[in-house]
Structure 1
Amino acid sequence: MGIVQTPNGFSLDNGGKRIVVDPVTRIEGHMRCEVNVDSNNVIRNAVSTGTMWRGLEVILKGRDPRDAWAFVERICGVCTGCHALTSVRAVEDALQIRIPKNAHLIREIMAKTLQVHDHIVHFYHLHALDWVNPVNALKADPQATSALQQAVSPRHAKSSPGYFRDVQTRLKKFVESGQLGIFKNGYWDNPAYKLSPEADLMAVTHYLEALDLQKDIVKIHTILGGKNPHPNYMVGGVPCAINMDGNGSSGAPLNMERLNFIRARIQEATAFVENVYLPDVLAIASFYKDWLYGGGLAATNVMDYGDYEKVPYDHSTCQLPGGVILNGNWNEVHPIDPRDPAQVQEFVAHSWYHYEDESKGLHPWDGVTQAKFELGANTKGTRTDIKELDEAAKYSWIKAPRWRGHAVEVGPLPRYILAYAQGVGYVKDQITESLGAFNALAGTNFTPQQALPTTIGRTLARALECQYCCTMMMDDWNALIANIKAGDTATANVEKWDPKTWPKEAKGVGTVAAPRGGLGHWIKIKDGKIDNYQCVVPTTWNGSPRDPKGNIGAFEASLLNTPMARPDEPVEILRTLHSFDPCLACSTHVMAPDGAELARVTVR
């Protein structure tokens, strides 16, 4: 390939040394990444590959639309609930069903519970170890760690020297036994790690605290949705009856005692986010103040559908408004319409699928999922043992979604860039305050346009959205209480539950601000059954391969021009890819058109 200039402005060079990371771990699903580094160990080419498949869109065909949420929710066990919510919204859009206010508020609390849980788990348990060295924490002075904790976040109650000494003792036993457990297989002597021993000990301590918090916050799902993961939803509302005079024995799970329990969990999460999570992100980032890499498409093209509506069915009330920014122009936000066949399209020129005309994309309502696994002429290895992929050919099970032909990044960072650009007051205040704190810690003077479109900015945006979701959740809780006190206890609208009331043909779309970005489900209904169903998920957008014009996706773009300390220990690759929190289980899908068996796995 040599040096290639892509239409979306990136220079690629597949010369030099090829580094293969397969699998990329600490993510949901199976992913492969290949990069080329030059003589200075700087990444000059990146190839992102989805290496797993699923068949839910095909499984859904011919089924009852009211059941779709229960199937698609199983796409992923991490972003639990967001596919179900997107599905019921798509069906309700198709059938013009309007849900009660209580149902809207309960759904919002459930969705934001997922955001808070997912963002905390992402940072501490999937991403923090790209920045934090737990082995180095053994060198820390607990007294100095306590002082650091009180300087970073004086309101956090757990900050005594004895507390940190106890954690350090536990960690030492892990290391000395040779059983590192959750900290095994890290590149702990890599110079890419920059934290002081005290900062490492503080972060590892909070890693353990987050394990406790994450199991408590999801109890909200068990009350409102019956269980977690995969809480229950229903077309027309929520399956959660209200009986303020009952104690649960009446069969109605929602009473004042349960509502107060939910409020307590929201308050606990809010305290953790504001006193631990957000301060940790800023403190850790200050040690990496020169690591302004990983922006990629975030610096130019971002997209989100918009979500967190105050008024159901009124997208103008989204507290994080949608839109598209192109070419880095934050002064112009293009409106987005997922119904427009010219806006959202999926391409397969470099994906293991087949279209009749692969130079063109298909809108999800007309989506086709037909497998075509073939390797390019320059692939090294075999079909069952690939050494290096040929990115000039087909190389991923992920399709390539585009907005009006443009590759875009989706996620909390795009949501925050779009909200900032559109003058959302709460978001502007958050960014101003957090960036001011970072600049004070790091001795820098970065602007939002400089700091946000980076790997660190992407990580910060998730923490800020987590904080915002806590605030919005408390507002939703108060609104729910007020509505119930006003005498409204309705949680479902079943006027159109009977398929006899449906039109012969209908189509709809549902969108959600999923933890990893803009999520959309498109459905076509015919004679009361699903005629076509397509999901275009955040990691499909971000992890997409090249399109027919050669535009690269967000994962690939984010890795370019990143220097690596030791290419054979790809900390920097993991650091940036983990900032997206890839979910390959969501993004890949394939089943043979005739239902033929594609593969058989025997477990002995």
Structure 2
Amino acid sequence: GGKNPHPNFLVGGMACAINMNNDQAINQFSLSYLKQLVQTCHDFIHKVYYPDIVAIAGFYKDYAHIGASNPNFFCTGAPSEINAGAPAGKGMIKPGVLLNGDYRNVLPFDQDKIREFVTSSWYKYSEGRDAGLAPYDGETNADYNGPRPPYKWLSDRPQYTWVKAPRYDGHAMAVGPNARMMIGYAQGVPAIVERVDAACDKLGLPRDNAFMNSTLGRVYGRALDALINVDMMVDQLQEMTDRIRNGETATFNPEKWEPETWPSSCKGVGWVEAPRGSLSHWVRIENGQTANYQAVVPSTWNSSGRDAEGQMGPYEYSLAHTGKHPLVDPSRPVEPLRTIHSYDPCQSCAVHLFDEEGEAILTRQDP
């Protein structure tokens, strides 16, 4: 079930059986192979990727003060652990929110505070463009009113993007590896605090998590996130292997397998910390059928346009908020690209637009 970014889980469990005597299932050979893969990842990240990022960062110290996003962050905890029960000392990051540039005071996360806006988007809401809808009640109604290609200019129009604008309690939020690491630092996770402080010492920066809200900080945060996660993988793979050897091989729970056992009307949301940040899928079921389904993905948070209050999303904020982002040569916009790339954009994830028959709603019109 470990495919990323699309795990192959099923209702009731995972699609891969565990059987030490079956070549087609997870067995001793596959566990040994997994251990080899994880160790290879561990060695590369610890010996090459992370130290190289820290070393190269020394040549780009100015980018620790360039490209800051909105000063608001949230994460839903360690991977797949929105309700992480392990104490912070175990390396687990718990759900939390940082608001208004206070990067030491972690506030509790409340999913009921999320609303999505389409003020600047090529969508329309039945309540009007300035309405904010909870994802359970979300609408995805295409309403393209932009120019026809070839595009020359978009930003002088009220609507300019296919991305909605999610907001948390009215705040534009940034998500991602740096958000996880900043919150983990504020929670006192030792593995994060020790490495961030050491990196700050090497770069001549104050010992703090604030520098990770920058172009350089996002690149560093991704490397540190990889290091923290690969260490967890080593431990968790060993734990899983030990449990299998002790006879725990069940991968299926039939308790909720039969649709007849499901409530006819209900709603639910699934959260996971994906590589690019907090990912959530929201569903509302009525009369045994899906009545509404909305996905709010990391790049939707980060690449959102302006909302009804005129607040910029993180991409826009990083480039335009202070008006001081460098651009040496407009014909070669390396500096803005460097900042946007530090978010690791996935715009195909940020935009979800299709009908129930799987047919295209709108297609690109080539000149």
* TM-score when normalising by structure 1: 0.56
CA shift at 1:592, angstroms? 7.0
How many residues are aligned here? 358
Instruction: Give yes or no for the alignment of 1:279 onto 2:51.
Output: yes
1:305 alignment partner in structure 2: 76
CA shift at 1:599, angstroms? 3.6
Structure with bigger gyration radius: 1
Instruction: Give yes or no for the alignment of 1:383 onto 2:148.
Output: yes
Instruction: Give yes or no for the alignment of 1:346 onto 2:111.
Output: no
CA shift at 1:352, angstroms? 0.5
Alignment partner for residue 18 of structure 2, among 232, 242, 259? 242
CA shift at 1:386, angstroms? 2.7
1:417 alignment partner in structure 2: 182
Structure 2's unaligned 5+ residue stretches are none
Report SS of the residue matched to 1:525. strand
CA shift at 1:295, angstroms? 3.8
CA distance in 1, matches of 2:64, 2:246: 52
1:6 alignment partner in structure 2: none
CA distance in 2, matches of 1:367, 1:334: 26
CA shift at 1:595, angstroms? 9.4
AA matched with 1:258: S
1:404 alignment partner in structure 2: 169
CA distance in 2, matches of 1:322, 1:599: 38
1:435 alignment partner in structure 2: 200
Alignment partner for residue 299 of structure 2, among 536, 539, 546? 539
AA matched with 2:242: A
Distance 1:591 1:256, change over 3 A: closer
CA distance in 2, matches of 1:352, 1:601: 14
2:28 alignment partner in structure 1: 256
Report SS of the residue matched to 2:55. helix
CA deviations over 1:87-123 (Å, ceiling 9, x no partner): xxxxxxxxxxxxxxxxxxxx6xx37xx4xxxxxxxxx
CA distance in 2, matches of 1:452, 1:398: 25
Alignment partner for residue 342 of structure 2, among 561, 575, 579? 579
CA distance in 2, matches of 1:536, 1:383: 28
Q: Does structure 2 conserve the Cα–Cα contact (< 8 Å) formed by 1:346 and 1:400?
A: yes
1:10-49 matched pairs, under 5 angstroms: none
Q: Does structure 1 conserve the Cα–Cα contact (< 8 Å) formed by 2:136 and 2:292?
A: yes
AA matched with 1:552: M
AA matched with 2:138: G
1:359 alignment partner in structure 2: 130
CA deviations over 1:130-180 (Å, ceiling 9, x no partner): xxxxxxxxxxxxxxxxxxxxxxxxxxxxxxxxxxxxxxxxxxxxxxxxxxx
CA distance in 2, matches of 1:594, 1:549: 36
Report SS of the residue matched to 2:63. coil
1:315 alignment partner in structure 2: 84
AA matched with 2:335: E
CA shift at 1:481, angstroms? 1.7
CA distance in 2, matches of 1:327, 1:391: 29
CA shift at 1:521, angstroms? 0.4
CA deviations over 1:388-443 (Å, ceiling 9, x no partner): 1245501100000000110010000011111111111221122123333x32xxxx
CA distance in 2, matches of 1:493, 1:538: 30
CA deviations over 1:556-599 (Å, ceiling 9, x no partner): 11113211221210110110100001100001123479999644
CA distance in 2, matches of 1:449, 1:305: 18
CA deviations over 1:52-108 (Å, ceiling 9, x no partner): xxxxxxxxxxxxxxxxxxxxxxxxxxxxxxxxxxxxxxxxxxxxxxxxxxxxxxx6x
CA shift at 1:283, angstroms? 1.6
Q: Does structure 1 conserve the Cα–Cα contact (< 8 Å) formed by 2:72 and 2:100?
A: yes
CA deviations over 1:221-280 (Å, ceiling 9, x no partner): xxxxxxxx8552212211111112x151xx4x1111110110111111110001110111
Distance 1:255 1:518, change over 3 A: same
Q: Does structure 1 conserve the Cα–Cα contact (< 8 Å) formed by 2:82 and 2:94?
A: no
1:526-565 matched pairs, under 5 angstroms: 526-560=286-320, 561-565=324-328
Q: Does structure 2 conserve the Cα–Cα contact (< 8 Å) formed by 1:266 and 1:474?
A: yes
CA shift at 1:284, angstroms? 1.3
CA shift at 1:485, angstroms? 2.5
Instruction: Give yes or no for the alignment of 1:368 onto 2:139.
Output: yes
Distance 1:596 1:260, change over 3 A: closer
CA shift at 1:527, angstroms? 3.3
Please identify, of 360-369 and 419-428, the stretch whose mean Cα deviation from structure 2 is larger: 419-428
CA shift at 1:357, angstroms? 2.7
CA shift at 1:313, angstroms? 7.6
Alignment partner for residue 42 of structure 2, among 265, 270, 278? 270
CA deviations over 1:191-243 (Å, ceiling 9, x no partner): xxxxxxxxxxxxxxxxxxxxxxxxxxxxxxxxxxxxxx855221221111111
2:269 alignment partner in structure 1: 509
1:13-412 matched pairs, under 5 angstroms: 110=2, 114=4, 230=6, 232-244=8-20, 246-248=21-23, 251=24, 253-297=25-69, 300-308=71-79, 314-317=83-86, 319-338=92-111, 340=112, 343-355=113-125, 356-375=127-146, 382-391=147-156, 393-412=158-177
AA matched with 2:10: M
CA distance in 1, matches of 2:38, 2:356: 46
CA distance in 1, matches of 2:83, 2:210: 33
Q: Does structure 2 conserve the Cα–Cα contact (< 8 Å) formed by 1:240 and 1:254?
A: yes
CA deviations over 1:11-55 (Å, ceiling 9, x no partner): xxxxxxxxxxxxxxxxxxxxxxxxxxxxxxxxxxxxxxxxxxxxx
Structure 1's unaligned 5+ residue stretches are 1-106, 115-228, 376-381
CA distance in 2, matches of 1:521, 1:337: 15
Distance 1:329 1:415, change over 3 A: same
Please identify, of 594-603 and 349-358, the stretch whose mean Cα deviation from structure 2 is larger: 594-603
CA distance in 2, matches of 1:307, 1:539: 19
CA distance in 1, matches of 2:209, 2:244: 44
Q: Does structure 2 conserve the Cα–Cα contact (< 8 Å) formed by 1:370 and 1:592?
A: no
1:3 alignment partner in structure 2: none
1:489 alignment partner in structure 2: 249
1:458 alignment partner in structure 2: 218
CA distance in 2, matches of 1:523, 1:599: 24
Identity score, percent: 41
1:155 alignment partner in structure 2: none
